Amino acid sequence: MENGRVVGESRADAKIISVDSTRDLALLRIRQSDFSKVGAKFYLDESISSAGTLIYHCGAPGGKEIGGTCSLTTGIVSRIGVRIPSFGGAEHGIFDQVDCAALPGSSGGLVALQKDGKYIGLITLGLEGSDNFHWMVPMCSVKAWTKEIHAEWLIDPKIKSPTTEDLKKIPLENNYNSRSKKSTPKDKEQTTIQNLKIVPQSND
């Protein structure tokens, strides 16, 4: 990206290290040593971003087919701690609501604080027919996930990077035994709450 325009493209093979479908998170190992020289700065404070916090969202609304790669939109955190048991079950189905513009294809795109660019979550769900009513996986869920799979080094640069042997010890599927029937990938395609259809913001 340069001045909001795509000036090149980089592709690389990746290996799936771990998947947590209850939180809609995954860890991939990119098979390219110089894939990225600059990483995200994660929000690691114990305090939670409150409603009204100004945010950026970077994603691919509509997918590459309509030129949506690396689109930047703005918004606010609208609500925190929204529980949606149909996605992730009662324990892990907790999301924060945001109003930044996003469409199918935006799923997985970062949500960051406007004041310092720190990563506070990623878009995962939205209401069908709406482009500014979405839920993100909050940073507190990301932190809990990295702790469970012993991969805190993912978000904290002060922690030593893992060896290949360390990566082999990470479970391929996290929270598999706690996954309810309602939270399987097939059932995640869509659900309805009070006549509102909730759909993943992927472009599949």
Q: What is the CATH number of the domain that holds 22?
A: 2.40.10.10
Residue 7 counted as domain residue = no
Number of helices (H) and strands (E) in the chain: give both, helices first: 3, 10
Positive or negative torsion for Cα 96, 77, 70, 196: positive
Residue 124 inside a domain? The answer is yes
Bridge partner list, 139: none
Q: What is the Cα–Cα distance from 121 to 60, expressed in whole angstroms?
A: 16
The tens place of each residue's pLDDT in the chain, 204 residues long, gives 555 555 556 677 889 999 998 888 999 988 776 666 677 899 999 888 899 999 999 988 776 666 556 788 999 999 998 887 776 555 667 899 999 988 887 888 999 999 999 999 999 888 877 788 899 999 999 999 999 999 999 999 999 999 999 999 999 998 755 544 444 444 444 444 444 555 666 665
Best CA proximity match to 136, nearest among 62, 71, 49? 49
Q: Which amino acid is at 97?
A: Q
Residue 9 lies in a domain: no
Q: Which residue range forms the structural domain that includes residue 101? A: 14-200
In a domain, 101, yes or no: yes
User: Residue 153 falls within a domain, yes or no?
Assistant: yes
6, part of any domain: no
Within-domain flag for 58: yes
Closest alpha carbon to 188 in 174, 177, 173, 204 = 204
Separation between Cα atoms, residue 164 and residue 170, nearest integer Å: 10
Per the structure, how many domains does the chain have? Answer: 1
From residue 176, alpha-carbon distances to 23, 88, 124, 148 in Å are 11, 11, 19, 13
- Asked, for residue 1, whether it belongs to a domain, the answer is no
Q: Which residues, 6+ apart, have CB-to-CB distance to 69 below 8 Å?
A: 6, 60
Residue from 112, 125, 12, 94 nearest 54 by CA? 112
